[in-house]
Structure 1
Amino acid sequence: MARMNEESGRRRHLGRVTKRRRPIFWIAFIALLLAALLALRPAYRWLKTKRADSLAAKAGRFVQQKNFLEAAHTYRAALQLDPLGYHPLQGAARLATRLNHDEALGLWDQVVRLPQATNDDREERAATLLQAGELPAAAVAIDELLKQNPDTNALVLASRYSERTGNSARALEYARIAMKRAPQDEIAQARLAEVLAASLKADERAEAREILWAVAAKNGAARKSAIESLARAPDLTRDEQTKILDQLHTLDPFTVTDALLAADLRLRMQPENTALIYDEIIASWGAKAKLEIVQWLNAHQQFNRVLTLVSPGERRPKLLLARLDALAAEQRWDEIETTLSRKDLTFDSVVVEAFRARLAAARPLSLDAEEHWNKAITLAGNDSSKLRWLGAFAEQCGADEIALRTFQRLGRSPADTSLALAGQQRLAAKIHDISAARTIAEKTLALHAADPNAQNRVAYYNLLLEKDVSANATKAKELVAKYPDRLEFRVTAALALLRQHDPGSALAQFQGPPIEWAKTPPSWRAIYAAALMANDEATRANELLKSIPLDRLSREEAALIQRR
């Protein structure tokens, strides 16, 4: 009996121990399971990252094969696995940039925020901003690059930005620094050549062509850019045009830009085939690059071809905008009104108000036009991209006062100061406000003290207003001595000599190769006529005066030919 009681006690004790151990076992099991899960989570993330990188590499191979659609799908799959993966984001950003897609900027913004981002990534983002016309953001990005011991690419970007914002002197400065840093770098060579090609001096333009021909002869990264720059050059001989036309067709990839450059060359070389050239461009590129084609056709005043390519029901804003431009050029105002009344219109409100203003001015409903212009300016606010578009559009429409106000507002943006002043300068001269033009010219000169164009404009306006004649005459003569082939500078020097009562020397400014006066601005003809009259060459002066519309002259310019 005692043995039974002892056995029973032992079993009860073992039961109690087992019951105590069971919760401990489960706790330990759960803890081990959680530890395993926590260990698996980074491993799973690592596997997803590796798979995303593998897909990004595969997409890169598709890009090399020019299978851009598959590349885009593969990058998208990679980003679904790893939305913040460096390689998928960088590859997708480069592809979007190459295809000129709007999402490129957003992708680059994500890339440069990653810890793996390189200086090359930041340069590519800045280049994309510049290409997209996002000038204020590009200015910030390029300024950051310049603070960090900039390489050649950063200096080339700074040169391109300076050129885009109207600062040609700074563009040349950065291009020359890039060349000093890397004399054999073809991209730096091509950039310097591009800047020199726009020079005032014939020898610098010749130097530019020489550099570009040398770069184009090599098979380097800058060959394409050099050939395209040569295709745009105005001073090519017939043989050079033929050579460049052949080289354009060897470019790979041969883009719509290259096709349009080739077409422009053919239009200059074969004016008898104009209609055929337009039709061939439309047949080859009208479907796959419709926007670029219609913008090019509008620039060549082929408005009916644009209206054939872009249907009235077009929904894409940029294409519809090109159609509206063509309709306005053809004065088809009712069709414009119908388009602006569409409920599915996705235009920015600034664009809608600007076109309504253009429509009202054409009818004419001047008060309505002014109301719509004012709304457009208000809606644009301080958005520099909208103000740039609005200023250019108003100027194109002949709404000079509106354009002037828009450019004045644009001038508040530091990144757009040069462009805004250039717009104000054109408009002040156009409305013959010489005092305002002089003030704007002085502001431009303060920004670009080394720019001979700015120096000449200040001297010209001061001489018209008879202010500081001696000092401005000295500056005008210095500019002619340095740039003897610039007729604009010789006109200013002639005005200076007339103010100094030296008519013989004034007339001597126009000696040399024959001048096609019919192609020059009325103000230049007025000063030449004044020089002829001051030298008692009345017959030649009177013949020239017949070609000068007095309403195209300022009061001060008209006085030069009326007082004699």
Structure 2
Amino acid sequence: MRNNSVLYYFIATCMVAFCVAFFKSDDLMLPLRNWQAMKFLDQSKGYQAIGKLKSTQGQDEDAIKTAEKAYLLAPANMTIARNLAKVYYKVDPIKGLDHWENIIKMPGATLGDRIHLVNLALKGATRPNERSQNQKIRLNSERKYFLEVARRQLALLSKDHRFRERREFQMTKAEYLAEVGNPETALAEIQKLRAKEDGKDPLIDLIFCRIAIRFNRPELVEEAKSLLRKLAEGDGQTAIEAIRHFSLVHLVRPLAQEEIVELQVLLEKNNPSVVDRLRLLSLELDVAKDSDERNRVISKCASIFDLSVDSDLVVYSNWLGKMGQMEVLLEVLPLSRASRSEDLFKIRLAALANLGRFEALEIELEQSNVLQAYWRYAFGARALSASRKFTEVKIKLNKLVDAIYDDNRKVIAVCKWFAESADEPSLCYILEKLSNDSRYEIFCAEGLLRHRGATAKLADIQKWISILALDKPVDLKLQNVRLYWALLSQNPTKAELKEWLNLSNQHLAHAPNDLQFRITAGLALLRNDLPIEALSILENAPGKAISRPPWKLTRPAWTKIYAVALARNQRTEESIDLANAVAKRSSSRAETIALSAIFPSGHKQ
């Protein structure tokens, strides 16, 4: 019996030792982690396929959650890292771009990854303008960010002989030049590539078409149309891409209804997606001459869906809303039908809000219980805000914050909805209410910078950027942004100015070609009464021409700093000319006030 007990304890001890060794051994655990990571990757791709990028319910899985789990298990796997960046970009282009910048630093990064990052940045820079003036200010700020990312990456690529002469780099560089307002050079670059490839590369032809259309010279637009029509008559993805490009043509030379119908016939030969069909239907609706034609196009669109299925009805209703057909949307989506689905009910309420029928919106909110309480508060606040009942708005928003406070998914969904609804005062109120909680401090700082950065006080901007910089102490670019805004302080001590100058020099040593770092260093030198050194830093970039900014087109506040440097170096006429060139372009309120206070003489010596 005693021998059996000894044997039992021996076996148990061996099992424990084995388990400890198993779970502590990277050799044994790594395959298991990779296997689990690939499972999460497959789930993420599945959620992307059905459009479930982000769930509003904290407990539900979605494309982002599963992509993040996969990345945590296998952060060095390039496929998994790319997937996470992809889903981030779909939900938040700035966050996605930030993750792509991390990817290109990984050992497995390729030229394709770098070029893809630049293309995504250019795509973000060309997003359509929204209607709200506040949103236009915000989008303009984001556009500058996207173009700066593209410029920075192209400057890095241009230094590497492995990439500099590659066709992919030259194509992307041409697109960047066109986007920043240099279409002549861009066109010359792409025409060289076209001559070299002799029509064998449709991607080069498509880039030529985009640049030619942006140039908007009649003969170039006609050449682009002719080339696109030829490509559209082919098969496969190239034909689909060519047909998509006709949306750009339509912006500068509206297509005739017959041309659009011809494109629809060509599109149907290539097993098109619903999105591609809707794109052409949008063009056809845009050129409809009367209500009969508009109704025909709307019916044609309805015919590609099964409107008894909620998911189809959601897509169709969203298309109607995008096209401004709110009355039709309300007919297609009566209250009785919308009340069966939270997504459909939100679309109906949004249509009522767009039509200014806020009383009806409030009544329908009371009549239906399909929405969860927090969405009822959100729509109620939106209606009251439009009716300028600001005291009641705050009451609703306070209830909303209390309802979403403990669920970050709800917080993100609600904030995104208010941003898309162009109700930025309500959005910023929510962000400010949540900003005192450490869980939401960073999210709120990012949101307030994005939505109030153009109009906020300097002290607020400094506070928000400090929160972000403290969260990422190794992010040199973010630390440099923090330093730039510190240098805009009106009454720093001499010791602070000296410390900031030393810090700006340290930053610049790591990235001497980066315009942001040069501006910060130049500003630090000016504030320390070293104008000769400031002008040298701003004018003499060690890199190639792509790293030297066209000052009249760059960020107005930065151009003004350069103008001050010119004036302090007795180059008064150049300073005046530059200051006048950007006089009508707006900087953020904080930058404008700060620079006027720091350099009250403007361009004078």
TMscore range, shorter length: 0.5 to 0.7
The residue type paired with residue 429 of structure 2 is I
> SS in structure 1 opposite 2:453?
helix
Please say which structure displays the higher CA radius of gyration. Answer: 1
Could you say which residue in structure 2 is the equivalent of 1:397? 423
| Match of residue 171 from structure 1 | 100
Match of 2:544? none
Match of 1:124 among 31, 38, 42: 42
The 1:362/1:428 distance shift into structure 2, 3 A limit, reads closer
- Name the residue aligned to 1:198: 120
Q: How does 1:450-461 map to 2 (within 5 A)?
A: 454-461=478-485
Match status 1:376 vs 2:400: yes
Distance 2:465 2:423 in 1: 24
| Aligned ranges 1:318-357 → 2 under 5 Å | 318-342=343-367, 344-357=368-381
TM-score by length of 2: 0.52
Following TM superposition, by how much is the alpha carbon of 1:387 offset from its aligned partner in structure 2, in angstroms? 0.3
Q: Structure 1, residues 204-232: CA drift from partner, whole Å, max 9, x if none?
A: 47989939999xxxxxxxxxxxx99x999
5 Å-filtered alignment, 1:62-141, equals: 120-128=38-46, 131-134=52-55, 138-139=64-65
The change in CA–CA distance for 1:301 and 1:497 in structure 2 (over 3 A counts) is: farther
Aligned-pair RMSD on alpha carbons?
Answer: 5.4
Percent of aligned pairs with the same residue?
A: 15
Matches of 1:211 and 1:281, distance apart in 2: 42
CA contact (8 A) 2:445 2:464 kept: yes
Aligned-partner Cα distance in 1 for 2:507–2:323: 37
Assess if the C-alpha contact under 8 Å between 1:407 and 1:423 holds in 2. no
Q: For this pair of structures, how many residues does the alignment match?
A: 415
1:247 aligned partner: 240
Among candidates 489, 494, 499, match of residue 527 of structure 2: 499
Residue in 2 aligned with 1:474? 505
Matched position secondary structure for 1:198: helix
- Separation (CA, whole Å) in 1 of partners of 2:581 and 2:77: 58
CA distance in 1, matches of 2:295, 2:551: 35
The structural deviation recorded for 1:307 is 5.1
Give how far 1:455 is off. 4.2
Match for residue 556 of structure 1?
Answer: 594
Task: State TM-score, norm by structure 1.
Answer: 0.56
Which whole-Å CA distance do the structure 1 matches of 2:587 and 2:101 have between them? 38
Contact 1:391 1:407 (C-alpha < 8 Å) held by counterparts = no
CA contact (8 A) 2:67 2:84 kept: no
Q: Deviations over 1:156-211 (max 9, x none)?
A: 3343356557264443444665956xx7xxxxx87665434235134847989939
Deviations 1:126-162 (A, max 9, x none): 4456743149865577445653697554333343356
Q: Confirm or deny: 8 A CA contact 2:37 2:70 kept in the other structure.
A: no
Change (3 A) 1:247 1:162: closer
Q: For 1:10-38, what per-residue CA distance to the aligned partner results, in whole angstroms no more than 9, with x for missing partners? A: xxxxxxxxxxxxxxxxxxxxxxxxxxxxx
Distance apart, 1:424 and its partner CA: 3.3
Per the alignment, residue 41 of structure 1 pairs with none
Unaligned runs of 5+ in 2: 1-34, 122-148, 158-162, 173-201, 214-223, 232-236, 242-266, 307-311, 541-546
CA drift of 1:462 comes to 1.5
Give the Cα separation in 2 of the matches to 1:140 and 1:392: 21
Moved more, 419-428 or 248-257: 248-257
Change (3 A) 1:175 1:478: closer
Listed one character per residue, the Cα deviations across residues 272-308 of structure 1 (whole Å, up to 9, x for unaligned) are: 7899999858733674544335445656766566556
Gap change, CA 1:358 and 1:332, over 3 Å in 2:
same
| Offset, 1:423 | 1.1
Per-residue deviation, 1:434? 2.5
The verdict on how the C-alpha distance between 1:383 and 1:543 changes in structure 2, with shifts beyond 3 A counting, is same
Distance 1:126 1:542 in 2: 52
Q: Give 1:346 deviation, angstroms.
A: 1.0
Distance 2:206 2:442 in 1: 27
Distance (whole Å) between structure 2 residues aligned to residue 210 and residue 443 of structure 1: 38
Please give the secondary structure, in 2, of the residue aligned with 1:482.
Answer: coil
What is the CA–CA distance in structure 1 between the aligned matches of 2:509 and 2:428, rounded to whole Å? 35
Give the residue type in structure 2 aligned to 1:154.
I
2-structure distance, mates of 1:540, 1:211: 32
- Please give the per-residue CA displacement for 1:36-58, whole angstroms capped at 9, x wherever unaligned: xxxxxxxxxxxxxxxxxxxxxxx
Q: Is the 8 A contact 2:349 2:361 kept in 1?
A: yes
CA 1:433/1:263 → structure 2, altered by over 3 Å: closer, same or farther?
A: farther
- Matching of residue 160 in structure 1 with residue 86 in structure 2: yes
Amino acid at match of 1:284: C
CA, structure 1 residues 351+153, in 2 after alignment: closer, same or farther (shift >3 Å)? same
**Alignment check: 8 A CA contact 2:81 2:103 kept:** yes
Kept in 1, the 8 Å contact 2:67–2:80? The answer is: no
Partner of 1:40: none
Q: 1:291 to 1:557 in 2, by over 3 A?
A: farther
C-alpha displacement of 1:460: 2.3
Distance verdict in 2 for CA 1:542–1:203, change over 3 Å: closer
The alpha carbon displacement at 1:353 in A equals: 0.9
Per the alignment, in what secondary structure is the counterpart of residue 81 of structure 2? helix
Match of residue 364, structure 1, among 388, 392, 396: 388
* Residue 258 (structure 1) shift: 3.9
Quick one: distance in 1 between partners of 2:403 and 2:561?
43
